[in-house]
Amino acid sequence: EIVLTQSPGTLSLSPGERATLSCRASQSLRSSYLAWYQQRPGQAPRLLIYGASIRATGVPDRFSGSGSGTDFTLTISRLEPEDFAIYYCQLYGDSRHTFGQGTKLEIK
């Protein structure tokens, strides 16, 4: 079973700064079936990125995903106030969906 480990656990930044969130898989992924979700307080998760690097419909272009194999990254180029939330990576593609434990992005 592949385990996804996200880092850091908490990231403290200011609006306008660049955020880099990491998701590491315990084994190399055969495909780029890696997604990123944003969850704001009191809300359901929202799909941001799928296929490791493809933005979902309506997602601003300040969000970008990259990576392959075991290391994946979500980058937010210039933080807006509404971007402060918890971010989860997810492995999909087979019968089980595995989530990382999440990274909390908080205002510094």
| Contacts with other proteins, residue ranges (CB under 8 A) | 33, 35, 37, 39, 43-47, 50-51, 56-57, 88, 90, 92-102
| Shortest distance (Å) from residue 94 CB to other proteins | 6
- For 67, residues 6+ apart whose C-beta sits below 8 A from its C-beta are 23, 34, 52, 53, 73
CB of 33 to other proteins, least distance (A): 7
* Nearer residue to other proteins within complex by CB, 45 or 75: 45
Dist. CA 7–CA 107, nearest whole Å:
17
